[in-house]
Structure 1
Amino acid sequence: MIIKKLSGTFSLKQFVIYDMRSLNHYSYLTIDIKALKDTESDILEAVIAFNKMFSSRVIFYIEDVKNNQELIVKLIEEGIYNIVTSEEVETLKNEILKATSDLGMNKREIKAKLVNNEGTAGCSVPEYSFVNKNTKIAITGVECKVGTTTMAINLANYLASIGATVCYVEANDHGHLMQLPKRYERMTVNTDSLTYYGVKYLTLNAECHEDFDFIVYDMGVVDTKIINAIRSKCELAVLCATAKPYEIDAYERTIHLFDSDTINTIFSFISEPEKVKLQNKYDQVYFSEYAPDLFDGEKNQTIWESLLIPYVIKI
């Protein structure tokens, strides 16, 4: 790893505008908050501009958490989770290693630091433990365009947000995964995997020897082969569907192929009156909120919490 160290005091805003272009081949930009002479609003403006222009990962070193709570909360809102805070050398080393790892730090970790430092920013960070390693979750769809990939990625990001190690596997032939870095420049691209906000993304044929708390399989459109794979290999299965009059027949044909106690259904784009009808007619159904952001782990949080009760323990 090539390291370039700049000493002294700086204006982060001016640095981003005038100097960063010559350094954008570096993977990380690490900033000691004490070296900045910017106001808080200038720092946030610089971070927003940086995220729009560059793909390097930003890491902040903020030793005085208590007096920088408000700034930290605003950095979290801008997607900056790699915030190193320790004053102890050994702990500091571990935090730096985590911040520069493939997955980096997650939102839950930095919020926990606020709480542990008696922050008053309104952060409540429950602790979770996970029943098993490598719990396999299958997400499949009745047809194309029913939200299967969105639900799978949303779920993976929710799991990462509560501190789980999680892997998303594109277990279909759509080829969507390797298109993502074209749109999301801050993704870390490896030979056959991607990492982004604490989730590792793999193609089905990628080699990976790591253990995860959860593995989320995006299986595409359901068929007999997928149903058999779910029965033999997966602890939890979710079927994505819609319920327009010309769509519900496909759902009914599919749902009867599953064992009634092994499949949960997430319906998308359902009106309130239709929700009541579907709940009365079918078992284990959920209704998703509109989630235009692929990486929004919070939008359907109540669904994920319910589905994961057997696998996640809130401490």
Structure 2
Amino acid sequence: MFATPLRQPSSASGGGPAVSMDGQETPFQYEITDHGYGKDAVKVLHVSRKGPVHTIQEFEVGTHLKLYSKKDYYQGNNSDIVATDSQKNTVYLLAKKYGIESPEKFALLLGQHFLNKYSHVEEAHIHVETYPWQRVCQEETKAVTSQSQVGQVGQGGCNNFSSIDNRSLHNHAFIFTPTALHYCDVVIRRKDPKQTVISGIKGLRVLKTTQSSFVNFVNDEFRSLPDQYDRIFSTVVECSWEYSDTQTVNFSRAWQVVKNIILRNFAGDPQVGVSSPSVQHTLYLSEKQVLDVIPQVSVISMTMPNKHYFNFDTKPFQQIVPGDNNEVFIPVDKPHGTIYAQLARKNLSHL
């Protein structure tokens, strides 16, 4: 269900003779089964200036095109190639002409442009990654004039940018807050009326210090891990989802909703938390709630690597630090467990 950079062509598109270097047709000995080219990592910053309030979007954009012809490969004939430099220029010119609202809408705009402009382009695949800029909070820019104010810094709600009134946010100053990366992939094919739009979250690293367990798993001669009744649970969430309806969805809002659902199922209520019997169960509850809440999402995939924090054994050091240790842990990035699942609506084939 999730798009690869370019769809594998059907067998019908590969039949017939090949053309040799001297221009003579020869029977196929080998066949190009997938092809395409493009420009990657095109960095663009767009500033929307509406009076004193400015809004910014910074993207890294990749544009990949698949042409009907393969003569550039077989014959070295470049007459159909839209240069990757021209693709790069298109990113900047369309951003100037139409502005940027969201990564998904900009990717749709780019993909449709390439198909409308060039009749020999069969497929356009656009990948966009968003740089996580947030407005500076007004409280963070206030001058500290007394010792008592030093202790108040960071005590308010300003670090939670989504919960403060817009009037407390700076009009034109921003801070880079890489909590999670918003990305999208859009694939538009000339012979397929359905636009494939996939949005995703990368790099959402979370940790909780209790209410996570892992018990009653397979107990055989290969097992060394004891039952974990209360452990540190940490992961770096990667999640992507595909839309069945791209006309009625607010892409930016939907992305924020998915992120909030993941955090809510991981952390629970701020005061009491939520119990997690396994990473698998927490992952499933998040995916299920996304499908419950956002009807335009047809399928969602999520990966949660288990970032381990092992208890440091203080038993040999009782003379230095007597008692048990539940405060000092050793972070271990590798090896790590990886848990993933894809959840789809049962009537997906009818969407």
Please state which band the TM-score falls in when normalised by the shorter chain.
under 0.3
Q: Which has the higher strand share?
A: 2
Higher RCO (CA-CA < 8 Å; seq separation 6+): 1
The alignment's TM-score, normalised by the length of structure 1, stands at 0.27
Q: Which has the larger radius of gyration?
A: 2
